[in-house]
Amino acid sequence: MTVGILTYHWEDNYGATLQAYATYRAVSELGHTPMLIDLRLPYAPPLVSRLVFALKRHRFNAFRRKYFTRLSPLCYHSVEELRANPPQCDCYLTGSDQTWNPHIAKRLLPAYFLTFGPDTTRRITYATSIGLDRWPGSDAISDDDIRKALSRFDSLLLREDTGIGICRDVFGHEATQVADPVLLHTDYSELIGSSPAPSGEVIAYKLIDDAGFYEMAAETAHRLGKPIRSIGSIRRMKGYRSTYPESVQDWVRRFASAEYVLTDSFHGTVFSLLYHKPFVIYTGDPKRVTRIESLLRQVNLTDRILHSGATPADMHRIALTPIDWKSVDEAIAAMRHDSLRNLSLALGDSPRAD
């Protein structure tokens, strides 16, 4: 069966690219033919930005060319284009990542609710995220039209418990919680090799710029007696090692080889869990940690989150707090098992014996 995956596959963002890769890989490993529906968010930065980020875009494009080998024949830039000439698939799958976040999808939001294509085409979500604890509404599609769109879905599998609540309370549809697709795979040796050499470094990966974080992270690394490296950011901070721009593979390798991880990134958290890296989550705004909190509740590690007002001593203490990796692995294995089963059933496969 050909499964058309609609997600953020064209963005130069490490987490977005890797969740698209993981979804694509999971569909293939379940015996289906994945095809990325080539819908692209607007990309029109100023010339200076294009020049500054040219190498990063080149490296992301190299990853996409190598691993995203099946794309829809047409490239789409609007909902209208999708409706006029929809991709021919047996199933449409939306997700994962924040494909239902109105602040990110913007005018393309109706597309991610699969408001195109024939009624006879199977429609499912996998690990779709809203990324917010409250539904803000959208100018691109009304709540009533979302309710109607969701009525066409054969299965609703969402990533966060907050999204399940919004789906139920705002749109009147029940959904099932599943793991982020990156967690569906036990490792990423096909990207980074089997055993990356330990770097002995503290890795700092911050999505939302915060000078206080970098100062706190540097002090924490000093207390730990480890060198600190900033990844994924063009900024250069005094006292930090820095590499930019990493390829997607090297970004994963940094997490796999790190000694400690300090971050506010959802997928930075995911790779810390997969590769057993002591981590601390720091965000200045509690509203921005909804996705991470939902995941860490499932592995009983919400005590590794810090908010504004925290001190380097707090970050140092959490970094040194041992993690029961056996318990974490068991929780993730259970999530992986149930999520793969739910995805397989959503795709129309016969129930498999456990």
Residue 271 has pLDDT above 70, yes or no: yes
Helix (H, G, I), strand (E, B) or coil at 111: helix
CA distances from 262 to 126, 174, 218, 228, 269 (A): 28, 35, 10, 10, 9
Give me the domains of the chain, ranges plus CATH numbers: 2-185+333-346 (3.40.50.11720), 189-323 (3.40.50.2000)
Residue 287 has pLDDT above 80, yes or no: no
Mean pLDDT of 213-240: 92
Is the model more confident about 267 or about 244? 267
Whole-number Å distance between alpha carbons of 98 and 6: 11
CA distances from 86 to 15, 72, 125, 145 (A): 27, 10, 18, 19
Among 171, 197, 193, residue whose Cα is nearest residue 249: 193
Q: How confident is the prediction for the chain on average, in pLDDT?
A: 94
- Confidence tier at 159 by pLDDT (50, 70, 90): very high
Whole-number Å distance between alpha carbons of 341 and 354: 9
Mean pLDDT of 222-226: 97
Residue 353 has pLDDT above 80, yes or no: no
Residue 160 has pLDDT above 70, yes or no: yes
- What pLDDT is attached to residue 166? 98
User: Using one digit for the tens of pLDDT, what is the confidence trace for 305-317?
Assistant: 998 889 999 999 9
Residue 41 has pLDDT above 90, yes or no: no
Residue 254 has pLDDT above 70, yes or no: yes
User: Using one digit for the tens of pLDDT, what is the confidence trace for 327-340?
Assistant: 999 999 999 999 99
- Confidence tier at 209 by pLDDT (50, 70, 90): confident
CA distances from 292 to 192, 251, 270, 298 (A): 24, 19, 9, 10
Among the ranges given (26-35, 219-228, 345-354), the one the predictor scored with the smallest mean pLDDT: 345-354
Q: Which residues pair with 97 in a beta bridge?
A: 128
- Confidence tier at 96 by pLDDT (50, 70, 90): confident
- What pLDDT is attached to residue 352? 67
CA distances from 95 to 198, 223, 267, 351 (A): 33, 40, 15, 22
Show the tokens assigned to 278.
Answer: 């002591």
User: Using one digit for the tens of pLDDT, what is the confidence trace for 105-155?
Assistant: 999 999 999 999 999 999 999 999 999 999 999 999 999 999 999 999 999
- Number of Cβ within 10 Å of residue 201's Cβ equals 19
- What pLDDT is attached to residue 289? 86
- Confidence tier at 354 by pLDDT (50, 70, 90): low
Mean pLDDT of 228-241: 89
Percent of the chain with pLDDT over 70: 98
